[in-house]
Amino acid sequence: MQLLSDRQRIQRDIEALARFTSSPGQGVSRFSFTTEDRLAREYIKRQMSASHLQIREDAAGTIIGRREGRRVGAPVVMIGSHFDSVRNGGAFDGPAGVVAGLEIARILDANRLVTEYPFEFVAMIEEEGGRFGAGLFGSRAMLGKVSSAELQNLRDRDGINVATAMREFGFDPANIGTAFRHADEIKAFFELHIEQGPILEKAKIDVGLVETVVGIDQWEIEILGRPDHAGTTPMDMRADALVAAAAIVQEIYRLGKQAGAGTVATVGSLQVWPDAGNIVPGKVVFSVDIRSTAAVTIRKISTALQKAVHDLPYRYSGISVRITPILSVQPTVLSATVLKILEEESRNCGITAQRMQSGAGHDAMIMAGLTEVGLIFVPSRDGRSHCPEEWTDYEQLQTGINLLLRAALKMAGIFVSE
């Protein structure tokens, strides 16, 4: 049996989802629980319906399309990724994996395939944390790792917390616990994703098969000073929150660089109040993102960061600080069993592959706490991602989907031959 994905359908899905953006002409900006989210959600559900999937949404907002197998009550083979984006991002980060699931569902439906194990095709939200700051929301909810405190405390730039946004969108935050999945419900989880780096393209390799995913610590830091007139307040009488913040930004860069290869540290978001050229900054809030393949390195940098922040009031007069943990995920080793299947299937169909580690966080790393996980990378042109220029050739995406299809069918009880 030879089953192949359709390039034109893949392109149609990617382009359709890219149109649901709040920044037309400036990349894809699609945040969770927004109009753009709803439009993308409706499109995804229409495609699932056309493939005769049983559709539901869990309490976190993840879309789930189910196709039953022969075994009643058997654990599912789950395929999916996320469909939210960063601000002014690209069309492929997340949607590539969602579209992979949609395309595989079409192939199963068109060929009337019956598998031993059921399939679930999932489209998750707030993986990026683009709106509220703490990412991997849909997958964390499946593991019971989203607390009511998080829903109340995390807010977007307009001061709206997650609970309010969910409620206004039609989800009840009080039900978040019902998104939890038991380990015996899921046989395996597969995610296809763009590499977001230059390795595969440079080596002319079709796919990357991920062995490990970096750990992540994310923090929010608030520094309070005093807003004063920029022209009449002497330099030695200022409590400038931005000057104190700048010291931490420099320290984070130093700590990340000092740690060496495999570790990065970033300040990617910074807000200043009152945000006026003629006023001494009275308040600064900024993010810190620390990533490494070594858990001990993440802990070391996070500890040094906390000390540096708490030392600020002793270095700068009139300054007070607050540092809040947003997200902490350990480095993750993915399933050796699934990796072996992916390697075997890539050889069987002439797809070139190499083992890789991921420097970006993915829902797959969270799902690895629940089940066997396989993560497939497809090449990114010039290694670009999180920008409008993000691009993966559709033929390369199609190749990745074909491999995912074969491996998933093997897990679900159908063995595809040439």
- Cα 110 to Cα 238: distance, rounded to the nearest angstrom: 70
Residue 373 β-bridge partners: 189
Q: Are 81 and 363 in contact (CB under 8 A)?
A: yes
- Cα 278 to Cα 402: distance, rounded to the nearest angstrom: 58
pLDDT tens profile 39-61: 999 999 999 999 999 999 999 99
- Cα 176 to Cα 223: distance, rounded to the nearest angstrom: 32
Report the chain's mean pLDDT, rounded to a whole number: 96
**Strand 207-213, strand 215-224: pairing:** unpaired
Q: Is the pLDDT of residue 1 over 80?
A: no
Question: What's the rounded mean pLDDT across residues 390-415?
Answer: 95
pLDDT tens profile 12-32: 999 999 999 999 999 999 999
Question: What's the rounded mean pLDDT across residues 207-227?
Answer: 97
Fold of 7-213+332-412: Aminopeptidase (3.40.630)
Angle at 69 between CA 63 and CA 73, to 5 degrees: 80
Question: What's the rounded mean pLDDT across residues 255-275?
Answer: 95
Question: What's the rounded mean pLDDT across residues 187-213?
Answer: 98
- Please state, in angstroms and as integers, the Cα–Cα distance from residue 114 to each residue in 45, 70, 71, 416, following that order: 22, 7, 10, 13
Q: Is the pLDDT of residue 417 over 50?
A: no
- Cα 340 to Cα 346: distance, rounded to the nearest angstrom: 10
Radius of gyration of the chain (CA): 23
The pLDDT value given to residue 261: 85
The pLDDT value given to residue 3: 85
Beta strands in 150-257 (DSSP E): 186-194, 207-213, 215-224
Question: What's the rounded mean pLDDT across residues 385-398?
Answer: 98
CATH code reported for the domain at 215-329: 3.30.70.360
Question: What's the rounded mean pLDDT across residues 65-75?
Answer: 96
The pLDDT value given to residue 114: 94
pLDDT tens profile 346-362: 999 999 999 999 999 99
Angle at 265 between CA 21 and CA 282, to 5 degrees: 75
Beta strands in 237-340 (DSSP E): 263-266, 270-273, 283-292, 320-329, 332-333
Comparing C-alpha atoms, which of 375, 362, 337 is closest to residue 100?
375
Delimiting residues of CATH 3.40.630.10 domain(s) in the chain = 7-213+332-412
Percent of the chain with pLDDT over 90: 96
What single-letter amino acid sits at 82?
H
Comparing C-alpha atoms, which of 218, 220, 386, 354 is closest to residue 292?
218
Structure tokens given for 21: 């953006």
What single-letter amino acid sits at 205?
I
The pLDDT value given to residue 394: 98
- DSSP single-letter state for residue 178: G
Return all residues near 302 (Cβ < 8 A) that are at least 6 apart.
217, 219, 290
- Cα 87 to Cα 22: distance, rounded to the nearest angstrom: 9
Residue 88's region, left for phi above 0, alpha for psi from -120 to 50, else beta, is left
Delimiting residues of CATH 3.30.70.360 domain(s) in the chain = 215-329
Return all residues near 285 (Cβ < 8 A) that are at least 6 apart.
220, 221, 222, 223, 270, 271
Q: Is the pLDDT of residue 415 over 80?
A: no
The pLDDT value given to residue 47: 99
Q: State the greatest distance between any 2 C-alpha atoms of the chain, in Å, as a whole number.
A: 80
Question: What's the rounded mean pLDDT across residues 377-399?
Answer: 98
- DSSP single-letter state for residue 279: B
Residue with the two structure tokens 């990745």: 400
Q: Are 27 and 388 in contact (CB under 8 A)?
A: yes
Residue with the two structure tokens 């307040």: 233
Q: Is the pLDDT of residue 418 over 90?
A: no
- Please state, in angstroms and as integers, the Cα–Cα distance from residue 338 to each residue in 69, 144, 225, 344, 353, following that order: 20, 24, 52, 10, 14
pLDDT tens profile 104-122: 999 999 999 999 999 999 9
SS (H, E, C) 98-164: HHHHHHHHHHHHHCCCCCCCCEEEEEECCCCCCCCCCCCHHHHHHCCCCCHHHHHHCECCCCCEHHH
